[in-house]
A and B are shown apart, each in its own frame.
Chain A
Amino acid sequence: SAVISQKPSRDICQRGTSLTIQCQVDSQVTMMFWYRQQPGQSLTLIATANQGSEATYESGFVIDKFPISRPNLTFSTLTVSNMSPEDSSIYLCSVDWQGAAYFGPGTRLTVT
């Protein structure tokens, strides 16, 4: 399976600021995904990021709040902008590898 790393692993941020999360994969992949998992909840897809095109956002998520970059086939970033305490969550990067989804270790974000 693909090996996925994320940075930072956790962060505590003040409201109104922004945080950029990085996701690195050890193999070239076409599709990368960003999920959010709020405390005690399941995973919610934020957006799908394909290299060379604009990210596709799910209902309830907008580019101004969650801008995504996908500069090449092994890397993506998700920015959480103008944060509020409601953005406190685990953010997970995922890749589609041979038909199955594999996840990075996640970024635990706390907004105070």
Chain B
Amino acid sequence: QKEVEQNSGPLSVPEGAIASLNCTYSDRGSQSFFWYRQYSGKSPELIMFIYSNGDKEDGRFTAQLNKASQYVSLLIRDSQPSDSATYLCAVKMNTGFQKLVFGTGTRLLVSP
């Protein structure tokens, strides 16, 4: 089992729709969860982090965490073509230097 798993996509949504990106993780002791956006040819950019069960909202983005199910998701409301990118889920492991482990990413395509 991979430490952090994501559907590679692509996930295609029309402009204005809600995009739902999902991620599961294996280390039950993990405490910190992150979503990064990566445009082609660019480095990852942090867009959300969440530490507690439940929802966390920031503008059009909502991160959801369910530690019992070892599941974290990212919702993007009113999706825009500029949201088209690869979204990386990252989990800070509860070991050693608390290294960040990344999923393989989900490619999101928002069509006008």
Give the interface of A toward B (CB within 8 A). Answer: 1, 31, 33, 41-43, 45, 48, 50, 56, 58, 90, 92, 94, 99-106
Contacts and interface: CB of A to CB of B under 8 A. Distances in A.
Contacts of B69: none
Chain A interface main SS type: strand
A31 to B, nearest CB: 6
A76 B103 CA distance: 26
B100 A99 contact: no
Interface stretch (B13-21, B41-49, B74-82): B41-49
A103 B104 contact: no
Interface in B68-112: 88, 90, 96-97, 99-105
A106 B43 CA distance: 6
A43 B102 CA distance: 6
A42 B97 contact: no
A45 B99 contact: yes
Contact of A48 (B97, B101, B103): B97
A1 B101 CA distance: 20
Nearest to B51: A99
